[in-house]
Amino acid sequence: MPTLTDLPVPSFPPLRVKVTPEVHEYFRTRNIFQSRSLKGEAATHDTYIRRWREGDTLVIGKDAMVEEHTSFAAGHNIFSLGSFSDVASAFTPRTKIGRHCSIAPGTTIMGFRHPIEYAFCSTALYRDNREYIYSYLKEIQEREGPEANTYRALKVRQTFDDPIVIGNDVWIGDKAVIKGGITIGDGAVIAGHSVLTKSVPPYQIWGGNPARYIKDRFPADIQKGLQETRWWEIELSDLYHLSIEKPEDFINEILRNPGKFRTYKPKVYNIYEDLR
Q: Is 255 helix (H, G, I), strand (E, B) or coil?
A: helix
Query: Is 52 in contact with 19 (CB distance < 8 Å)?
Result: yes
SS3 for 203-247 is CEEEEECCEEEEEECCCHHHHHHHHHHCHHHECHHHHCCCCCCCH
User: What are the CA-CA distances from residue 73 to residues 78, 80, 86, 161 (Å)?
Assistant: 11, 14, 7, 20
Is residue 86 left, alpha or beta, with left meaning phi > 0 and alpha meaning psi from -120 to 50? beta
Torsion angles phi and psi, residue 248, rounded to 5:
-65, -45
Question: What amino acid is encoded at 141 in this protein?
Answer: Q
Q: How far apart are CA 30 and CA 185, in angstroms?
A: 27
Which residues partner with 59 through β-bridges? 16, 77
Which of 45, 69, 114, 241 is catalytic? The answer is 114
Which residues partner with 204 through β-bridges? 216
Q: Name every residue whose Cβ is closer than 8 Å to that of residue 134 and which is 6 or more positions away in sequence.
A: 128
Q: Is 114 a catalytic residue?
A: yes
Provide the annotated active-site residues: 114
